[in-house]
Amino acid sequence: MSEAQIKNLEEMFEQRIANDEKIEPKDWMPEKYRKTHIRQISQHAHSEIIGMLPEGNWISRAPSLRRKVALLAKVQDEAGHGLYLYSACETLGISRDELYEQLHSGKAKYSSIFNYPTITWADIGAIGWLVDGAAIINQVPLCNTSYGPYARAMIRVCKEESFHQRQGYEIMMTLAKGTPEQKEMAQDALNRWWWPSMMMFGPTDDMSTHTEQSMKWKLKRKTNDELRQQFVDQTVPQADLLGLKMPDSDLKWNEEKGRYDFGEIDWDEFWQVVKGHGPCNKERMAARVNAWEEGEWVRDAAMEYAKKQEAKKLNKAV
Amino acid sequence: MENKDLVQYIYGIADNALILGQRLSELCGHGPNLETDIALTNISLDLFGQTRSYFQYAAQLLGEDKTEDDVAFLRTERQYKNVLLVEQPNTNFAYTIARQFLFDVFHLSLLENLQNSSDATLNAIAKKSIKEVSYHLRFSGDWVKRLGDGTEISKQKIQEAVNALWRYTDELFHLTEADKVAVEGRIGVDTSQLKDAYYEKVEELLQEATLTIPEEKYFQKGGKQGVHTEHMGYLLADMQYMQRAYPNMKW
């Protein structure tokens, strides 16, 4: 194909996106579009799978049968999200095994929030309320993103995430209304999860590299800072309702701007965790690699058995 | 039948669901692939759902404002009446599957009989659970076949797991005092009558999976009397942690 032809295709492609048409797997797409989408969708899928670990840490110790069942179902939902996001990613011409390989080798990233430890039951409430709350703000705009399979997966993901968020908030509410010990547990979890949740929106706009291109392809509709502001404005009144105090002495309502002002994020900590040196980066990766390696003989057996069954069927047919 | 006997009879059934559900829940997020992870979690969820139905009934029979959580979390080890089989650890995927299969065959036949119980609640729980447990058996049976007739390694691993767990199967058919009272009252199932059909079914599938039937002569028992293996204490310490560390709180 000549350069002029490619340029022409690219223009038509951008025009389709501008017209709000969906791009489907068999449509022509620029290589950069394909690569960017593989990167983002797989990062999202990996986050779901790694995200099972910190919450999974409390399934065996959940304080009541009702909470145990709800938590187990929630972590299972995350496995389901991983499954349909990996499938969406596979439509771009990469296999699930390759995607796992990228995760296990450290080449692919996942959301840094899951590198923090869950050390009390209240952390399960705080994750649902804050982490899922932040995730929803990040993800709702993706229901209208340009790549069809991703947009459709996100519609389902977002529905389930908002259910999880309500569940998390309800755990926090129960603790906040409980004994002084329970309330203290809730406050401690908020103190530890607030800033990492704020970091989920990524670097500030002036430091963010991908924004302009992502906006054009509708992988992004608002900037990191806009989304972060939305999260603060939405979450502070919820903390008030719980009777808990935000761990930010600079946080206050700005009457003039009609929004909350808040303190500075510790960007050194942010980069440290992104670069693999958070409290649990190594443990999370080790757990995934271990599950994958320990599972190899099981996957091999399933393949071998399927082959044998297929051969038997053929023999019968002959 | 007196309430206290009926409660004991319920423990004998429901504790199996609770403890096996707990064991499977430990695996959530660590499965050999996503599909299997999701399926094992589903089985765990079913078993906890059944547990809750039984325990809500038991709590009601116990009176004194008892709840399902008191029953689930606040008994001592000797008061749990599950069979030894279900408390055995997740040594590897082959053990998880063998344990599941050896229990599922029994569980399904128990429920098929329990649905004729003269006790309306147990009867209803059994009817609802049969569908779920038929699926569990299909899942575990299919995996026994895949592992048995898969690779050399998988065959060796599943054979080892079946051999190791075989000694816990005989206990499934022992009758406790509570069982005998329940059978007399036409509420409970005489599990000793299920034994022959059980081994027939299990052996048939093991053969199909190209596995050898273990020739174990010595069997272990005690779970039904609350005398458990050493694994049980750790499982309970984990499961009961919150209720023990923070007593009398709502969660």
Angle between helices B120-148 and B34-62 (to 10 degrees): 160
Is the CB of B22 inside 8 Å of chain A's CB atoms? yes
Is the CB of B35 inside 8 Å of chain A's CB atoms? yes
Chain B residues in contact with A167 (beta carbon < 8 A): none
Chain A residues in contact with B32 (beta carbon < 8 A): 291, 294-296, 298-299
Q: Is the pLDDT of residue B216 over 80?
A: yes
CB atoms A75 and B154 under 8 Å: no
- Residue B236 counted as domain residue: yes
- Residue B82 counted as domain residue: yes
Q: Is the pLDDT of residue B89 over 80?
A: yes
Provide the 8-state DSSP code for A147: B
Chain A residues in contact with B71 (beta carbon < 8 A): none
- What's the pLDDT at A150? 95
CB atoms B147 and A301 under 8 Å: yes
- What's the pLDDT at A219? 85
pLDDT confidence bin for A209, thresholds 50/70/90: confident
Considering CB atoms only, which of A60, A76, A304 is closest to B41? A76
- The predicted-structure confidence for A94-147, as pLDDT tens digits, reads as follows 999 999 999 999 999 999 999 999 999 999 999 999 999 999 999 999 999 999
Q: Is the pLDDT of residue A210 over 70?
A: no
- Residue B251 counted as domain residue: no
CB atoms A69 and B55 under 8 Å: no
In a mutational test of the A interface, the residue from B22, B38, B41, B158 whose CB has the highest number of chain A CBs within 10 Å is: B41
Backbone angles phi, psi at A17, to 5 degrees: -65, -40
- The predicted-structure confidence for A159-168, as pLDDT tens digits, reads as follows 999 999 999 9
Question: In this prediction, does ipTM exceed 0.90?
Answer: yes
pLDDT confidence bin for A2, thresholds 50/70/90: confident
Q: Which residues, other chains included, contact A20 with Cβ-Cβ below 8 Å and sequence gap of 6+?
A: A144
pLDDT confidence bin for B62, thresholds 50/70/90: very high
Q: Are B59 and B68 in contact (CB under 8 A)?
A: yes
Mean pLDDT throughout B41-56? 98
Q: Which tokens is A272 given? A: 């440290």
CB atoms B149 and A65 under 8 Å: no
Is the CB of B242 inside 8 Å of chain A's CB atoms? yes
Considering CB atoms only, which of A65, A76, A83 is closest to B28? A76
Mean pLDDT throughout A286-290? 95
Q: Is the pLDDT of residue A278 over 90?
A: yes
- The predicted-structure confidence for A3-57, as pLDDT tens digits, reads as follows 888 888 899 999 999 999 999 999 999 999 999 999 999 999 999 999 999 999 9
Q: Are A79 and A49 in contact (CB under 8 A)?
A: yes
Q: Which tokens is A182 given? A: 């329970």
d(CA A200, CA A131): 8
Provide the 8-state DSSP code for A21: P
Q: How many contacts (CB atoms, under 8 Å) link A and B?
A: 132
Determine the Cα angle at B49 with ends B43 and B55, to 5°: 135
Mean pLDDT throughout A278-301? 95
Q: Is the pLDDT of residue A212 over 80?
A: no
Q: Which tokens is A87 given? A: 């499938």
Is the CB of B33 inside 8 Å of chain A's CB atoms? yes
Identify the CATH number of the domain in which residue B35 sits. 1.20.1260.10
Percent of chain A with pLDDT over 90: 89
**Domain that includes residue B64, residue range:** 3-213+221-245
d(CA B67, CA B64): 9
- What's the pLDDT at B198? 98
**How distant is the Cα of B219 from the closest Cα of chain A, in angstroms?**
29
> Can you give the pTM of this predicted structure?
0.95
Is the CB of B145 inside 8 Å of chain A's CB atoms? yes
Rg (CA), chain A: 22
Q: In chain B, whose CA is at the least distance from the CA of A289?
A: B30
Q: Which residues, other chains included, contact B225 with Cβ-Cβ below 8 Å and sequence gap of 6+?
A: B81, B176
- Residue B87 counted as domain residue: yes
- Residue B250 counted as domain residue: no
- The predicted-structure confidence for A170-206, as pLDDT tens digits, reads as follows 999 999 999 999 999 999 999 999 999 999 999 998 8
Is the CB of B243 inside 8 Å of chain A's CB atoms? yes
CB atoms A69 and B52 under 8 Å: yes
Provide the total of helices (H) and of strands (E) in chain B, helices listed first: 10, 0
pLDDT confidence bin for A317, thresholds 50/70/90: confident
Provide the 8-state DSSP code for B172: G
What is the number of domains present in chain B? 1
Q: In chain A, whose CA is at the least distance from the CA of B240?
A: A61
Is the CB of B234 inside 8 Å of chain A's CB atoms? no
Is the CB of B157 inside 8 Å of chain A's CB atoms? yes
Q: Are A214 and A208 in contact (CB under 8 A)?
A: no
pLDDT confidence bin for B67, thresholds 50/70/90: very high
- Residue B40 counted as domain residue: yes
Chain A residues in contact with B149 (beta carbon < 8 A): 305, 308
Chain A residues in contact with B42 (beta carbon < 8 A): 76
- What's the pLDDT at A229? 98
CB atoms B154 and A297 under 8 Å: yes
- Residue B15 counted as domain residue: yes
Q: In chain A, whose CA is at the least distance from the CA of B40?
A: A76
CB atoms B151 and A297 under 8 Å: yes
Q: Is the pLDDT of residue B104 over 90?
A: yes
Q: Which tokens is A261 given? A: 């002002």
- The predicted-structure confidence for B178-206, as pLDDT tens digits, reads as follows 999 999 999 999 999 999 999 999 999 99
Q: Are B78 and B164 in contact (CB under 8 A)?
A: no
- Residue B56 counted as domain residue: yes
B43 residue type, one letter? I
